[in-house]
Structure 1
Amino acid sequence: MLKEERFQLILNKLSEDQKVTLKTLSEQLKVSEYTVRRDLKELTDQGLLKAVRGGAVPHSPTPHHFADRLNYQTDVKRAIAEKALGLLQNGQVVVFDGGTTAMAISSILPRDLHITVVTNSFPIVNVLESHPNIEVLFAGGRLNKSAFASIGHDTINFLRNVRADIYFMGICSIHPTIGVTTIYYEESEVKKAIVEVSKKVVALTPNERINTAEAFFICPATSVDVIITDDQGKESTEASFKDLGITVM
C-alpha cells in the first residue's frame, strides 16, 4: 500500500471514530507500529491531526482568527451563552477570556445583573462599556492581533491578583485524557493563569471541539467543573467525561 493511501485511510478512520490507535492501524494497514507512528508524525506536521501517545486525535476545526470565529456557529454560541446565564448571580467576580463564545455571553447579560467582569478581551470591554451595573477590569498587555486579546507577562501578572468566582473559558480543544489545549503558546499561559485563580472553571465548547487536541497544554480536564455545549453534542460529551466528575450542560 502506498504511503498516500495509508494517509487517506488513517484520516478516514479518524473522521469516523474521533481517535485512532497504533495497534489498530497497524493491523488494518498491515504495517508495523513504527511505520504507523511515522505516518502520524508526518500527518501531524501537515496539520491534519494531533499525534498523541498510542495514537492520534483530530485537531479542532475552529477557525483561528477572531474575525473568522466571530460569525462561525453563531446559533450554537448563542445557545451555550443562554445556558451560561444560569450560573451567574449578583456579587460575583467573573472572568471572560478572549473566546467568541465568552463574548456571546457578555452580549446578553441582563441589565439588572451586578457583577465584576475581568477580561483580557478588547471586544468584550466594548460590549460591556454601556452596561449600567457591571464593573469591568481590563487585564492589559501586548495585543494578540489574531484574537484581539491581551497576552504576555503584564496580562498574566494582573490576572494572578484576581480571585474569581467563575471563569468562562473559551475552548479550542478538550479531551478527557489529554486535557484542555490550544494552538497558541501565549494564549495557553494566560488561560492557565486564570484557571489557577478561579473557584469554578466553565468550559464553553461546541460539540465539534470535544475529543480534539492542539499543541499547547492549559490544564487537565479534571480542572474543569462544568462543560457547556450544544444540545446536539450533550449526550456524547457526557459519555466522554462521565468518569471525571464534570457537569455537562
Structure 2
Amino acid sequence: MLAAERRDHLLDLLAREGKVVAKDVAARLGISEDSVRRDLRDLASEGLVQRVYGGALPVSPAVVDYAARQSVAPDGKQRVASVAAGLVRPGGALILDGGTTALAVAHALPKDLDCTVITHSPTITAALLGHPRAELFLLGGRVFKHSAVTLGAAAVEAAQNVSADLCLIGVTGVHPEAGLTTGDAEEAAMKRALSARAAETYVLASSEKIGTASRFRVLPWHKVTGLITDAAPDHPVVEQVKALGPDILTAAGPADGTEPAA
C-alpha cells in the first residue's frame, strides 16, 4: 500500500471508529508499527489528527484563535449556555471559565440575577457589566490572548483564595479515554485550579468537541460533576462518558428532536 493510500485509510478509520490504534492497523495492513507511527506524525503535523500513546484521536476544531472560535458552532454553544445558565442559583457564587462558550453563558444569565461571578476572563467581566446585581471578581495574571484569559502563577494563586458553589469550564476535547483536554498546558492548569475551588464542576462542550482530543489533559472524569452538551443523548461518545459517572445535561436543539433540558 502506498503512503498516500495509508494516509487515506488512517483518516477514514479515524472518522469511522473515532481512534487509530497503531499496532492494530499495522497487523491489519501487514506493515510495521513504525510506518503507521510515521504516517500519524505526518498527519499530526498537518493538524489532521491528535497523536496519543499507541495511536491517534480526532483533533479538536476548537484550537483555533479566539476570534475564529466565535464562528464555530455558535448555535450549539448558545444551547449549551442556556442550560448552564440555569444552574446558577440566586445568591450563589459561580466560577466562570473563559472562552467562547463561557461568554455565551455570561450573555445567557438573567440581567436581574443576584449572584457572584468569579472569572479570569476580561471578556466575561465586560459582558457582565450591565448586570447590576452581579458581583464581579476578576482574577489577574498574564493575559493569554488565544483564549482571552489570565494564566500563570499569579492567576493560579488568586484562584486558590476563592470558593464557589459552581464552576463552569470549557475544554477543546471530550473523549472517554483521553478525558477532558485543551491545547495549552498553562490553561489546563488554570482550569484545574478553578475547578478545585467549587463544590460542583460542569463542563461546557458543544457537539464539535465530542469525541476529539487536544494535547493537555484538564481533568479526569471522576473530578467533574457533569457534562453539558448539545450532542444527541445516544451519541456513542456521550453514552461512553455517561457510563464513566458524570451527569449528562442535554442541550439538544430541534434538529435532534428534543428540547433543551437540565
Please indicate the TM-score interval, normalised by the length of the shorter structure.
over 0.9
The two structures have a TM-score, normalised by structure 2, of 0.88
Percent identity reads 36
- Alpha-carbon separation, structure 2, partners of 1:157 and 1:178: 27
2:164 corresponds to:
164
Task: Please tell me whether residue 73 in structure 1 is matched to residue 73 in structure 2.
Answer: yes
Residue aligned with 2:233, SS: helix
* Partner deviation per Cα, 1:168-194 (whole Å, 9 max, x = no partner): 111211212211111112211211211
Residue of structure 1 in register with 2:227 after alignment: 227
Residue deviations 1:207-240 (CA, integer Å, cap 9, x gap): 221221111121112212111111x433214312
Q: Is the 8 A contact 2:97 2:119 kept in 1?
A: yes
Q: What letter matches 1:203 in structure 2?
A: V
Decide whether the 8 Å contact of 2:112 with 2:131 is kept in 1.
no
Residue 122 of structure 1 is matched in structure 2 by 122
CA shift digits 1:9-30 (9 cap, x unpaired): 1012112221122243124322
User: Is the Cα–Cα contact under 8 Å of residues 99 and 148 in structure 2 kept in the other structure?
Assistant: no
Question: Does structure 1 residue 21 correspond to structure 2 residue 48?
Answer: no
1:114-152 alpha-carbon deviations (Å, 9 max, x no partner): 111011111111111110111000011111122221111
Determine the C-alpha separation between the residues in 2 that align with 1:43 and 1:69: 22
Q: Which amino acid aligns with 1:177?
A: E
Counterpart in the other structure of 2:107 = 107
Deviation string 1:50-108 (CA, Å, 9 cap, x unpaired) is: 22233211110125211111232211111111111221112221111112111111112
8 Å CA contact 2:228, 2:248 repeated in 1: yes
The alignment yields a C-alpha RMSD, in angstroms, of 1.6
- Which consecutive unaligned segments of at least 5 residues does structure 2 have? 250-262
Q: TM-score, normalised by structure 1?
A: 0.93
2:73·2:208 contact (CA, 8 Å) conserved in 1? no
CA contact (8 A) 1:174 1:221 kept: no
Aligned-partner Cα distance in 2 for 1:147–1:241: 26
Aligned partners of 1:205 and 1:229 also within 8 Å: yes
Structure 1 counterpart of 2:238, one-letter code: E
Measured in 2, the distance between the counterparts of 1:146 and 1:155 equals 16
Letter in 2 for 1:83: V
Report the count of equivalent residues: 248
Q: 1:107 is paired with a residue of what secondary structure?
A: helix
5+ long unaligned stretches in structure 1 = none
